[in-house]
Structure 1
């Protein structure tokens, strides 16, 4: 299975925002990701999110493990933290995808950003971009699907999924920030 990523091709791209009230100085997206319980992850996309966990790669790089349904595919994501800050994280995964026709893989880039608009009024931006691998391109060709068809299906499924999870992620991050603020004040 060739996992060479075709960065020149975009399988899907979704950028969704949600405004939320959160104590900005206590927002810590990296820490939220590292401590995100499975059940909270499931509440952020009911029915689609299956499990979440935290580990490190062989080289010690922190990783967020997420298992979720995107359309008809069960996606196992092993996100490596490329940027891990309190207000911005960039995660990159070579994700395994179980489709109704078998296993393949894609690269998924997940960016999470919280911006302070005014006081505690914040805006969360959830950006998910997927690129095919050589294996993915071979896989769809073997099953009679063009890249344009696969990209349209993935764009639809990923776009719908991000519309559900983005406001719920924003609320979860805001709750965690409020808990940290209350703990700091005690």
Structure 2
């Protein structure tokens, strides 16, 4: 009897933990479906009359696994960032570079060896207020925010905030625990 209660309790905890992994999947799925195609154009050499240029950048570090000296990267599905501006979507893709940051100190969020993804994209759109969604499906993260774009050239820098490792919470955030959220800065 006592064993059955323990088993049921363990199964309930496992079910709660597993269901927590799908928190943002519906929101992410909705944000990557384009509703419009007239908000922005990709590329652009400079600001045109009545338009603004926006350079998006996102640097994120991640590992799929570490096994016997091998650092696995995300390949199926690949690590991507999805941008949605006022209903129009685009995907940011990058080839990762193996980065070894062991010299920066153990408490630095990106200390250690892992795959660094450097996402960037230039978009041309109308100046003014826009609704921006950034999704990282691999990490189950989506952040929505209203941004103000000025005429001319703008920079939107997206910075990851990493989770704490479950077994070592005293060391602070670390890329190997995954991305918790992202911060968005418009300049």
User: TM-score per shorter chain, which class?
Assistant: 0.3 to 0.5
Q: TM-score, normalised by structure 2?
A: 0.34
Greater CA radius of gyration, 1 or 2?
A: 2
Normalized per residue, the structure richer in helix is 1
Select the structure with the greater relative contact order (CA < 8 A; seq sep ≥ 6). 1
Q: TM-score, normalised by structure 1?
A: 0.34
